[in-house]
Structure 1
Amino acid sequence: MATPTTEGIPSAEISSASPTSSTGQIPLEQPPKLKGRQKLLQSLQRMSSSPTLPRRGRSASTGYRRDHKASLSCVSLSSSAYSPCLGNGSSSQLYGGLNARPATPGCSGAPAEFQDENPRIRVVGTDSPHASQSRTVPLPIDIRPASRGVILEGQVTDIDVAVPDTQDVQDSQPKRILDFWGDMPRELKVEIFRYLTPQEIVRCASVSRMWNEMCYDGQLWSKVDAAEYYQKIPSDVLVKLITCGGPFIRDLNLRGCVQLRDKWSSDGERISDLCRNVVNFSLEGCKIEKASMHYFLLRNSRLEYINVSGLSNVTNSAMRIIAQSCPQLETLNVSWCHDVSSKGLRRVIQSCKKLKDLRASEIKAFHDEDLALELFERNTLERLVMSRTNLTDKSLQVLMHGVNPVLDVLTDRPIVPPRRFKHLDLHHCPDVTDEGLQSLAFNVPDLEGLQVSQCPELSDDSVIDVIRTTPRLSHLQLEDLDQLTNATLVELAKSPCAQKLEHLNISYCESLGDTGMLQVMKSCPKLRYVEMDNTRVSDLTLMEASFRVRRRGYGEDVPKVGLRLVVFDCANVTWAGVKEVLSSNAYIPRNRKPVSAVVTVTQTSDADSSPTTTTFVTPASTPSPSPVYPNEIIQLKCFYGWQMTVDEHNKRVLRGELASASRLDRKWADYMMATEEAGAAGAGARRRRRRAREAERLYNADDDDDDTYGVGGINGTGRRRRAQSGGCSLM
């Protein structure tokens, strides 16, 4: 039976050192036969301690000295007087490099590189400085138990086994203090600061020095938009934000930052050297020197959006720099830059091949046909703003058709590639007539927004031709066109763009009325904004609009504004039409209201055998369903004397207080009827004045807790109040 394995010595070594147990039994498992060097090493491994060799009766191994000056054993496990020492270099192969350090200076057989190691086998009781590190030692063969894990009774062992103290180990390990913010990676800290506004980040910079460095990290300022706080931020702080962002800044919006006027002269060069990766740049309304602006444009070749509208120092030299250093430009806004001419715009158009948006309002350059021809040949613009310019019919025709185009024999229309315009602004161009506007017909199929307001020479002919050939038109501005009639609105309702029309402006078109607007309200289901100020529309248009908005459905969510109507200064719009809009906003269909339970009770009296049937209407016993609201309502702008009531009504509806809104609507109607009666001449003036005072009292006492008639006009006794009519005008 194999001897038990002790801690510190492999089981193979223990089994090889004692081939038989103390009882003389032969182990069941025999080691495999080896040859050559392995056999020699096995024989060396089977050597036991020196005091036990005579008792085993084993012959000495050949090839070794027998003068007993050295022992083949490396460690003596007994308390005899033998001094342990190393034999030869083969002990490193025998024990896998775990050689015992010699206890006496005379035993120096081990190599030098192994003498400084910390072996796992140590001699107990020696004066070695490493002896205190010993934890376990193997048992001597003489006192080993007969079986594994069993110690004979009365057997005393002189083994020094060191057991580590668990409490000491726990006390030696220091407790870790969790620093949530300090241990957090810097990337996460920056990501947390991204959720703060610029004002909050600047305030956090005063917390500590570490926070100050974090708050002014360039990664937080990749977008500097001072449009919201340009009046509150000092110039020094704004310059610090721009400089700390440096190459990280992509969007730089300094709109209205007049406080930087002196900083551009002192720090403009440093700002331009640091900020060299700007993509979107806006200086609208900002005070800046011409040299600083030119230097900044030269240092930023990745600019795609430039807004310098309203700057007096923007000239053709700035356009030349943009053309040379900004090949990626897509949007350019030079509106109200009066020193820019057609020469500067041509340079930009020729060099910036990706230009899609050109806004040049109030620039006297579009009468130049060469500029129009350059725009025609480029054909990359999707938005072109030419409002308040000297645009003529000839330049507009060159912009759409080019010079001397080939005409179709059948239709007599120019054969040219279609223009890519999506938004075209021509408002307040007095020189444009029907001849120039008709050039847009059949040539701008992708047009979505057209603004031709305040062009007094336009009539139905040109506008109808453009409307019929623009199926994607969604925004149409026709303000202050005196020659327009209802025929334009009727054609608009029949055109392909009626299903996509969202914005319509016909203010100050005094010839337009209900004839055309009723057709538009019926045929345009996606209308969101309609301006009909100073037109001939009446209450019929408001009623039709209310009906169409109600058809947009009902739901459980609080309503939102779906249609905005402007009917200010419309003589044919009365308070009755306004009341219809208010009532429609708070209207809920009967089939959407909670269902009541009808209980029928049949009673038979003793005197009369005929039964008596009584019907009671009680609320349903089932849980009340969730409230129902209209999906969309109408926001109305009307006569200023009614506007306060309309606004209050809309607030209540948008909050979901439909009952309160209905009560306000009813009381306002009573007040308006009483006011009309009081203003009529004839008999009964005293009674009419009394009714007017009563209606005004009810109107002023509008409160949820002080409601005379309750919701739906029912008083406290459960009886419905008699409806008041307008009565006869002579009474």
Structure 2
Amino acid sequence: MANSVTDEILPSSEASPASPTSSTGQIPLEQPPKLKGRQKLLQNLQRISSSPTLTRRGRSASTGYRRDHKASLSCVSLSSAAYSPCLGNGSSSQLYGGLNPRPATPGPSVPLEDSDDNNARIRLVGTETPNASRTIPLPFDLRPVSPRSGTPFEGDVLSTELILPDAKPSRTIDFWGDMPRELHVEIFRYLTPREIVRCSAVSKMWHDMCYDGQLWCRLDAAEYYSKIPSDVLIRLITSGGPFVRDLNLRGCIQLKTKWSTDGERISDMCRNLVNLSLEGCVIDKASMHYFLMRNPRLEYINVSGLKSVTNSAMKIISQSCPQLQTLNVSWCNNVNTSGLSRVIQSCERLRDLRASEIRGFDNKDFARALFERNTLERLIMSRTDVTDESLKVLMHGVDPSIDLLTDRPVVPPRRFKHLDLHHCSEITDAGLKSLAFNVPDLEGLQVSQCSELTDDAIIDVVRTTPKLSHLELEDLESMTNNVLVELSRSPCAQSLEHLNISYCENLGDTGMLQIMKHCPKLRSVEMDNTRVSDLTLMEASFRVRKRGYGEDMPKVGLRLVVFDCANVTWAGIKEVLSSNAYIPRTRKSSTNPIVSVTQTSLDSDSATSTAFVTPSSTPSPSPTFPAEIIQLKCFYGWQMTVDEHTKRVLRGDLNAASRLDRKWADYMMATEEAGAAGAGARRRRRRAREAERLYNADEDEDDSYGVGGVSALGGRRRRAQSGGCTVM
């Protein structure tokens, strides 16, 4: 520092401001003068040095500030490590107490370096060791950092303690609150409608989420229609609004009084319906028309049994629903074929028409419209007035060209896959024969209770439908076993799954044995009130056993209905039960523990060897069960035992099922022997002896399969003798 500081402006630490004069003769000042220039700079630097945030800065020492060998400020440290803050006034005695120009008492002056008292002119602040750096350090934010670690160099030691801010408390994560609304909706989709309605009472937020329209895209009230109030049901429909695509209100009669008040509002909200089912509802005609007119995207309409559905509703459907594919108007008394004709002509995508008990199917114009459209895959016209002429027009059209070689009409084949003609009393062989060679894709045919049909028409249809899988021939009194024999020989035998011949009293084992042998995919056979006997049951058991065994639990593979069959006895029922719990002998032996024989070394005295039998360490294989079993519906007095036996087999407890089978057989034999005296008792005993001879006849020891050739879990194999059965 080139300029010096005058002595007059530096007050003595011992002078009293109250005294008029001092020992030096100078006039004391009332207040320190205002500093200017370099003095003001030094005062500001001193104030900065009192702040605890100032750290060391790597600067060189300041130049000496000396005049007449007075105090030098080059050794003043501006660090705050060991220095208490000074007063706001720059003339505080803590800094300038040792800078008096003259000592308070007379005496020789003492150099600064040799002064040992506390009144030294310059006092070093914050220097504990002689080698301590006397430089001003840089602030912490201006210091160079390491390029790798991102921390200051080791040489930059802070002279003050860092005061870190208080650590913030850890944030509590609210998974449900922070979750997006889309995930909330997706979680609620796993709940049932009843559970969603109950959750709506949790909070206001949950109430809004539970009535979000995205949850009610599919509103099916068939499971809870009798438990939900009308107000809540309307709330669900209106909440879904434009989101509702599938609306099933089947049986919701509680809306009877709501349609007149809220029907128009519901129709305004639901404008994007694709599937609509109002079967069993009580709805007025105006509300029905609103629904149909304001939902042009409808593809499925089920209004079965509604009195409010008339031909005017069919006209609205033909005008407003061009994408219609399925229409169910069965038992709608106010609809006839004149209204359906408009739907068929306008809805080009119609695939399924269900019109049971609809009048007017004898109209040839309507049949011609169906023939020209030729888009129907399912046509249900049961209990209608269809005649042979209208059925021929439906299949062949009007005045078709005839092939001279085959004498058959040359027309495009029909696309029917399911055709229901049951209880059409006016159908005869002449009309049913029109199906032959014209329905190659037919999979289901129902001609039950068509009393005029005989074997000829049915055989012609069966021979020309290779994809036939469901055949209903119930209550055809004129049908004989020839139909079943031809069915077993036809191409559809490999695809046949369901057969119903109930109340066909002329059918018996002759035809059913052929069906059981040649129809491997058979899943359901209804033959109650027929002449079938135990032989059919034994053949069915044998065919089901051939479907294999596995480690999975058994499942029902064939359902037989044989109640009210006079030729079916308890012995045939027992054969089915034994077959369900049967395991082949080879598989049963594989589950036995395997033993091994090890021979010890020869004894030196006796020269004999000792053999030890030890169990093998090979683990036994997992249990084996039948792949499929037979579910039987028989005489009501035996049905409880049959159901319990089936339950045990389905849960894999074959031993318990076999015990039940044996005990039931013992009980039935004892009951037969303990019958009343007389001719009836003799007949029962004779039947029991015949059944015992029939089912317990010894055969070869090989385990080949055959009719009735099984017994429950290890019993002797039994084979029935065909041709001489006189049971019952």
- Compared with structure 1, are the counterparts of its residues 588 and 349 closer, same or farther at alpha carbon in structure 2 (3 Å cutoff)? same
Output the CA distance in 2 between the equivalents of 1:301 and 1:645: 55
1:643 corresponds to which of 636, 639, 646:
639
What is the alpha-carbon distance in structure 1 between the residues aligned to residue 261 and residue 450 of structure 2? 47
- 1: CA distance between counterparts of 2:199 and 2:560? 46
| Cα separation, 1, equivalents of 2:648 and 2:550 | 17
**C-alpha contact 1:384 1:421 (8 A) present in aligned 2:** yes
Q: CA deviation at 1:168?
A: 3.4
Give 3-state SS (helix, strand or coil) of 1:537's partner.
coil
Q: Report the equivalent of 1:285.
A: 280
Q: Which amino acid aligns with 1:635?
A: Q
Match in the other structure for 1:657: 653
CA distance 1:161–1:337, change in 2 (3 Å): same
Q: Which residue of the other structure, out of 592, 595, 598, is the alignment partner of 1:595?
A: 592
1:392 matched to 2:349? The reply is no
Question: Are 2:235 and 1:240 equivalent residues in the alignment?
Answer: yes
Provide the residue aligned with 1:65 in structure 2: none
Change (3 A) 1:181 1:676: same
Match of 2:325 in 1: 330
Shift in alpha-carbon separation, 1:143–1:651, aligned structure 2, 3 A? farther
SS at match of 1:493: helix
Which of 191, 195, 198 is the equivalent residue of 2:193? Answer: 198
What is the SS of the residue equivalent to 1:241? helix
Asked if the contact 1:278–1:303 (Cα under 8 Å) also holds between the matched residues in 2, the reply is yes
1:156 paired residue among 128, 134, 148 = 134
C-alpha deviation, 1:175, in angstroms: 2.6
d(CA) in 1 for partners of 2:37, 2:59: 12
**In the TM superposition, what is the alpha-carbon distance from 1:177 to its structure 2 partner?**
1.5
What's the secondary structure of 1:384's corresponding residue? Answer: strand
Counterpart of 2:218, as a letter, is: K
Q: 1:133 to 1:424 in 2, by over 3 A?
A: farther
Q: How big is each residue's C-alpha offset from its partner over 1:343-369, in whole Å with a ceiling of 9 and x where there is no partner? A: 100000011110000000000121111
Q: Distance in 1 between matches of 2:352 and 2:369?
A: 15
**Cα distance in 1 between the residues matched to 2:546 and 2:183:** 50
> What residue is the counterpart of 2:402 in the other structure?
407
| Aligned position for 1:476 | 471
Give the whole-Å Cα distance in 2 for the aligned partners of 1:83 and 1:466.
121
Q: Deviations over 1:411-458 (max 9, x none)?
A: 011111110000000000000000000000000011000000000011
Aligned AA (1:364)? R
Residue in structure 1 matched with residue 113 of structure 2 by the alignment: none
SS in structure 2 at match of 1:306: strand
- Are 1:188 and 2:145 an aligned pair? no
Structure-2 change in CA distance of 1:615 and 1:165 (3 Å): closer
Say if 2:259 is the partner of 1:264: yes
* Paired residue secondary structure (2:178): coil
Structure 1: distance between partners of 2:216 and 2:264: 19
Q: Which runs of 5+ in 1 are unaligned?
A: 1-49, 52-78, 85-102, 105-122, 145-150, 603-608, 693-710, 715-719, 724-731
Amino acid at match of 1:81: R
The 1:637/1:712 distance shift into structure 2, 3 A limit, reads: closer
CA gap of 1:209–1:713, structure 2 versus 1, over 3 A, is closer
Which residue of the other structure, out of 662, 668, 681, is the alignment partner of 1:666? 662
Which of 328, 335, 354 does residue 340 from structure 1 map onto? 335
* Change over 3 Å in CA distance of 1:202–1:83 after alignment to 2: same
Do the aligned partners of residues 181 and 598 (structure 1) sit closer, same or farther apart at CA in structure 2, a change above 3 Å counting?
closer
Could you tell me which residue of structure 1 aligns to residue 59 of structure 2? 140
Whole-Å Cα distance in 2 between the matches of residues 625 and 124 of structure 1?
Answer: 94
How far the C-alpha of 1:173 sits from its partner, in A, is 3.0
TM-score by length of 2: 0.73
Task: Give 3-state SS (helix, strand or coil) of 2:164's partner.
Answer: helix
Q: 1:441 to 1:160 in 2, by over 3 A?
A: same
Q: 1:369 aligns with which of 364, 373, 376?
A: 364
Alignment of 1:247-258 (within 5 A): 247-258=242-253
Over 3 Å counting, the alpha-carbon distance change for 1:137 and 1:418 in structure 2 is farther
The Cα offsets for residues 313-344 of structure 1, whole Å up to 9 and x where unpaired, read as 11000001111100010000000001111110
Distance in structure 2 (CA, Å) of the matches to 1:553 and 1:653: 15
Q: Which position in structure 2 is the counterpart of 1:677?
A: 673
1:157 Cα offset (Å) = 2.9
Kept after mapping to 2: 8 A contact 1:136/1:160:
yes
Residue matched to 1:493: 488
What CA RMSD, in Å, does the superposition of the two structures yield over aligned residues?
3.5
The match for 1:304 is 299
TM-superposed CA distance for 1:165, in Å, is 7.5
Q: Where in structure 2 are the equivalents of 1:212-251 lying within 5 Å?
A: 212-251=207-246
Question: How far is 1:153 from its partner?
Answer: 2.6
Residues 435-514 of structure 1: pairs in structure 2 closer than 5 A? 435-514=430-509
Q: 1:175 is matched with which residue: 170, 175, 187?
A: 170
Change (3 A) 1:339 1:599: same
Cα pair 2:502 2:530 within 8 Å, conserved: yes
- Comparing both chains, which one has the higher relative contact order based on Cα–Cα distances under 8 Å and sequence gaps of 6 or more? 2
Identify the match of residue 543 of structure 2 among 536, 545, 548. 548
Percent identical: 71
CA distance in 2, matches of 1:481, 1:282: 34
Q: Relative to structure 1, is the Cα distance of residues 522 and 613 closer, same or farther in structure 2, using a 3 angstrom cutoff?
A: farther
CA distance in 2, matches of 1:456, 1:447: 22
- Contact between 2:60 and 2:136, CA under 8 Å: does it hold in 1? no
Q: Deviations over 1:221-252 (max 9, x none)?
A: 00000000000000000000000000000000
CA gap 1:178/1:641 in 2 versus in 1, 3 angstroms = same
2:594 and 2:333 map into 1 onto residues whose CA distance is 75
CA contact (8 A) 1:393 1:433 kept: yes
C-alpha distance in 2, partners of 1:80/1:467?
123
For 1:672, the aligned partner's letter is M
The one-letter amino acid of 1:153's match is: N
Q: Give 1:306 deviation, angstroms.
A: 0.3
**Distance 1:141-1:477 versus aligned 2 partners, 3 A rule:** same
Matched, 1:624 2:602: no
